[in-house]
Amino acid sequence: MNMTEYPRFTIIMRNYSYEEAEAILIAMEDLNDQFAVEMTLNTENAIEHIEKLNEQFGSKFYIGAGTVRNIKDVKDAIDAGARFLLGPHHFTKEMFNLAKEHQVLTVPAAMTPSEVDEMIELGADIVKIFPATAVGPQFFKDIQAPLGNLPLMAVGGISSENAKEFLDNKTTYLGIGSGIFNSYDIKNKDISKLRESLNQFLASV
């Protein structure tokens, strides 16, 4: 995957039904340069959902897997067509190697400068700082002073209220949970309201 094409924002879909996930992707029409989506693997039938979403929308959107924790998760996600893998913690060298073999982008998580450095050294394409609000926006700028410019993604507690502050502090990517949407709109699969929420978020940054 060409890193320069990967969107700045990744929508994290946890515990969504296929129909709810589908509604979000329909609402994202023409915003494929702004948003990628990941289905977390601890969602019921996640692998089947990722496979179906890729069949329907994969030519247009970056669709990946989240909560990737081990080599089995990597294999399952790749088999389902995931184009990127996000994890809540470190990836092993074996996980990186398999992803690279299939040209799948890797986004392991880290918290300290040492962990970030280790993940970059092992081959991470992006390092996810999680939970981001525990360290705050300034952390992203501060750790890059000694480590150099790094592809970092803030995940955990990101909202339209704080997104711009993270971006202003040299955070390259943001992972956004369901807080970006009104839960009522997701439940009702209200595409126009979901679209409105996406545009409001983009206006905030």
Which tens digit of pLDDT belongs to each residue from 11-25? 999 999 999 999 999
Host domain of residue 115: 3-204
Query: Between β-strands 173-176 and 9-13, what pairing exists: parallel, antiparallel or unpaired?
Result: parallel
DSSP, collapsed to helix, strand or coil, labels residue 80 as: coil
For residue range 111-159, what is the model confidence (pLDDT) as tens digits?
Answer: 999 999 999 999 999 999 999 999 999 999 999 999 999 999 999 999 9
Q: Cβ atoms within 10 A of the Cβ of 203, count?
A: 8
Q: Residue 5's pLDDT is what?
A: 87
| Cα gap 78→106, rounded to integer Å | 11
For residue range 43-95, what is the model confidence (pLDDT) as tens digits?
Answer: 999 999 999 999 999 999 999 999 999 999 999 999 999 999 999 999 999 99
User: Which strands sit side by side in the sheet containing 127-129, from one edge to the other?
Assistant: 105-107, 84-86, 63-66, 35-40, 9-13, 173-176, 152-155, 127-129, 109-110
**pLDDT grade, residue 3 (50/70/90)?**
low
Cα 205 from chain centre:
17
Element (H, E) at 194: helix 191-204
Q: What percent of the chain has pLDDT over 70?
A: 98
State pTM to two decimals. 0.96
Domain count, the chain: 1
Q: Cβ atoms within 10 A of the Cβ of 121, count?
A: 8
| Cα gap 173→96, rounded to integer Å | 20
Which residue from 47, 105, 42, 106 is spatially nearest to 76, judged by alpha carbons? 47
Q: What is the DSSP letter of 68?
A: -
Side-chain half-sphere CA neighbours of 80 within 13 A: 26
CATH label of the domain that carries residue 103: 3.20.20.70
